Structure 1
């Protein structure tokens, strides 16, 4: 055989299939595509039309959310480990190929929400969603509604639907995935006042007019504030621009226009009239029909800053000194097509003004996220480069990059999982352990990040053996619950101390979930709930969840809980505050008077004690559930 023939044969072989399969989790989709085009061997092994291994791995990459506390860490020697979504789809569609399963989850899973309508937190308002029926709205009158009482589809990219049969051309399946990646919902997380939506392409969206509700999150320490280059830029421009003044009654009027209204890059502009919401004001000159500039008074007959209403000669047309900032703002305010109540959110690092780059708007797409988790008035996201960003201030809609001083390199010690508590954040760092922080330093001028003021929870750094942390959940005030691989103890860390919480339960602990008022404990055989008061677990409240089906996921809001079963069914119970509809069980009067599943507690609160099935049409199944505040959300698929 000639030397040339030998080299040609070498190009037709590669690593053994088992080695390639083991390496797939560490490769991006682009890496996999490039590998498949290396030679005939890899092209056959990674055939996008027929490879079971490939599509199984692509499914895990897109929808196997293991980077937040929605799912526990993957345990040792658990080849059969399945996420909740995977378990439900495999139960419902045992005969489908992994390619069909991927396409089903990608294109048929729609986001549904229900609960309190205020601030547009559901991703729509009472008048903006054509899917809303009159009977699905709670409220005292046709014009005044509190909430939505049944799961209702959220308008998303004009609610486009693609059938599995038309998923992609055989020439390049990966390109089809990437083309529609921003329409494919990978994960939904719920905070106290909004939902956060992560797409398969790595973009992040938030619902409504406010994610903070006007409440301070785990942001800058004390009264500190992040440096705002936009405010400084506007101030400098206004100072440098020629002014024409008119003196009257001892006062001076500046005729230079002001920046109209919103903070720079406010993703959720709104006029707000209630506590906790944001509002903005501006003083603008107007021009009369006679060509004179006029400074408006706040109200007729009143002086403005000691100066009565004054007219002055028009100064003539001039350039808008704010045009560049306004253009940047418009570019950063990207709503979902057809729905202004869901807008894309960005990190501070995405804006050129925070760096010396002159690339303008190209940096908006540089950061791609792989996980999101939400607290009461804040949320965290992690990007593909293992960086954490925190949206934690009512003053800004921009995420701040979080760094940890005196920590080892992210290359050797990556962040494996992120989680939000009620009013703090936590993450798990490889060989470091659980790290918690409730405040950070303010971002200084010239800096693109903030140092977290963190604490490391002792004895959580093991990566092997029975003491390895397999799941954790965050409450409030740096209170963290966690379980180890041995599965026989529930640990609670608070005020610098770790202690065991003794529970009279059956089975081996494998998963935990916590919210403001409830702790949910999963064992390999049972699922329990416990009440929490002021951070303390009420052991006497231990109750096994009374559902005949196997419960695999539980989400909680302030006072209500929703369970998801392996069959894709939803059950809810708890308190539906102020007639908000968060239980999803229908109109209040019907729950109490017809179905007899709830009782009035006070004037507008309904309590449902027993887990009650949320009625979905027979051809629908749920694959993911989230809850927070007074609202609930789910990803629901209509069976074909």
Structure 2
């Protein structure tokens, strides 16, 4: 008698069976409820594999990583967001957010703490992303949703069509007339929504319906049992019967009560592509947001782009093709010469888009042709104005800012390439990538290398495999600046200066000494501070297990292995993007940090508990209309809850949060 799957050992099952299965196949196996099979699927190795194929946020693997708990938590993670709600980008009205999570300053109310967006119960969330005016939420089932009334703020910029416009068939336009409602909302510039909400219905001679709205204080307080409980305000509630004629992508709704008889509006739209019976299996597997655009990758190696303000097609993705100067589509799966050129990853930069292609390298584009066909189906695509970046065949990671690329080469070193083009959109490709010597001098002892890089707008950062985080910006890493650096420094003279804060916590310093690797020891004891002019080394991020950084226009988030989340930077107009609370709450956080650092002095002199303004200004500063947090501060979560993924752009931030097992 031959062996069955129930007789296999863990190594054979994980290494040879699991790689051939989709997530849906694994779920079917779990339904068998076989003890041996359940044990195999719940092992640490199997949980690691399932995590990596199910979700796009990849933790930096540590020796202590508990993949079983991590996978279970990630499956149950919920989406939270905070910050500016202009254009309803948070996916809900300000009045429906919990009162404890909002703050009013200068006659404007904003969401200043992580707030649960009660949606997406049908499938786990595969990935979260954001661009300048919305969030993109990709579900594990392949559906893609975008928050707000306009993901591009009704602006047009690269990498959309420049020389022509998209011309959609009339039947596509007619099916999307309801989008005009969203345009109406955005152009009124409401960060909050009127108490009587015009809900889009089926347009016709009668226009749109305006259902009656009722308020229910008790109903709005209910929250799922697996989400942290926060006190809530009253919510706008409409009955399901009133919305039964709406399409599921016109307005996203979620039940707030057990009998499922009432629903609360959510301002989220489902993104579309042409579908028929032959391509119903197509689903999105990756998403990435830029400034005024975002892109998505499907499970058949195709990239779709949302990149232009056209009220008729704001929800509809444009399929891209990559035809080179010889007329060959470099991603043609039917061509034996190109079928192995699959897309490993996609990233939308500030004003361009990119994909990393196996056997080719990094392809970038900043414009595409317009859609000019009256026959639009799944096979319709438009040509991109792409360029292959030299020497990127085996890069480790990459990120974009405004007009520049940062990447890690195969040896773990950091490089930058300036990306320039005139108004006609043709790339100036005479530029060559240059080494970021201040970054690479830090790891020149060869005891460490860079493993991740992050960037947005003007700033970027990199993480090493020795658990250090280094940050800089576009100006300080310009070619002219590096020429100045190279003229003043050599590696033999250069030393790593750990931080420029006089009041660095001595307890933390002792911990760092115990955890130092050769890289740190070889640099730390010099008075040479040249590196401080080029690289930011923030003490709160070093040797703490930081594995993700996300930046908006003026603020930053950092996520750690233990699920802690910190933020720092500037909140323009007190928009709440830091997630730390009101300015008074942030000030108290700063005072608590200072008191903790000065605990020995306070213990010996209790009357000296008054914090000096000079001390406070090292952490927190209140400007006329903005809040500046100068050192990373922890965002508070309810006990037992941890952050698993983050995203940030513009003036808003988001995270996946779940309850973690012991």
User: TM-score, normalized by length of structure 2?
Assistant: 0.66
Q: Is the 8 A contact 1:267 1:333 kept in 2?
A: no
1:627 aligns with 2:596: no
Q: List aligned pairs for 1:178-577, cutoff 5 A.
A: 182-230=122-170, 263=177, 268=182, 270-273=184-187, 330=247, 332-333=249-250, 335-337=252-254, 338-350=263-275, 366-395=281-310, 396-405=314-323, 406=328, 407-410=330-333, 411-445=339-373, 446-447=375-376, 448-461=380-393, 468-477=394-403, 479-494=404-419, 495-496=428-429, 497=431, 498-503=433-438, 504-506=441-443, 507-525=448-466, 526-533=468-475, 536=478, 540-547=533-540, 549-577=544-572
3-state SS of paired residue (2:320): strand
The yes-or-no answer on 1:156 pairing with 2:158 is no
- 1:299-337 CA distances to partner (integer Å, 9 max, x unpaired)? xxxxxxxxxxxxxxxxxxxxxxxxxxxx99835425142
- Give the 3 Å change call, closer, same or farther, for CA 564–404 of structure 1 in structure 2: same
Checking the alignment, whether the CA contact within 8 Å between 2:6 and 2:37 is kept in structure 1 is no
Q: Does 1:125 align with 2:93?
A: yes
Unaligned residue ranges in structure 1 (runs of 5+): 1-7, 72-82, 158-179, 235-258, 288-326, 351-356, 462-467
* Closer, same or farther: CA 111–102 of 1 in aligned 2, 3 Å: same
Distance (whole Å) between structure 1 residues aligned to residue 416 and residue 343 of structure 2: 21
Q: Secondary structure at the match of 1:349?
A: coil
CA shift for structure 1 position 428: 0.5
Aligned residue among 16, 24, 27 for 2:21: 27
How far did residue 472 of structure 1 move? 0.6
| Structure 2 residue matching 1:616: 3-state secondary structure | coil
5+ residue gaps, structure 2, are 192-199, 208-243, 255-262, 334-338, 420-427, 483-532, 592-615
Measured at CA, do residues 331 and 105 of structure 1 come closer, stay the same or move farther in structure 2, by a change above 3 Å?
closer
CA contact (8 A) 1:115 1:582 kept: yes
Alignment match, 2:197: none
For 1:590 and 1:51, locate their aligned partners in 2 and report how far apart those are by CA, in whole Å.
43
State how far apart, in whole Å, the 2-side matches of 1:366 and 1:267 are: 30
Distance 1:611 1:52, change over 3 A: closer
Conservation of the 8 A alpha-carbon contact between 1:347 and 1:401:
no
Alignment of 1:171-182 (within 5 A): 182=122
Instruction: Report how many residues are paired.
Output: 495
| Partner-residue secondary structure (3-state), 2:382 | strand
Determine the C-alpha separation between the residues in 2 that align with 1:37 and 1:438: 47
Instruction: Please say if residues 266 and 333 of structure 1, whose CA atoms lie closer than 8 Å, have aligned partners that are also in contact.
Output: no
3-state SS in 2 of match to 1:544: coil
Cα distance, 1:272–1:486 mapped onto 2, change above 3 Å: closer
1:264-311 Cα distance to aligned partner (Å, 9 max, x none): 66694643335899xx9xx99789xxxxxxxxxxxxxxxxxxxxxxxx
Distance 1:520-1:489 versus aligned 2 partners, 3 A rule: closer
For normalisation by structure 1, the TM-score amounts to 0.69
Structure 1 pair 482/227, CA: closer, same or farther in 2 (3 Å)?
same
Cα distance in 1, alignment partners of residues 655 and 27 from structure 2: 32
1:22 & 1:453 partners in 2: Cα distance? 40
Deviation at 1:202, TM superposition (A): 1.3
Work out whether residues 267 and 344 of structure 1, in 8 Å CA contact, stay in contact via their aligned partners in 2. Answer: no
- How large is the RMSD of aligned CA atoms in angstroms? 3.8
CA gap 1:285/1:486 in 2 versus in 1, 3 angstroms: closer
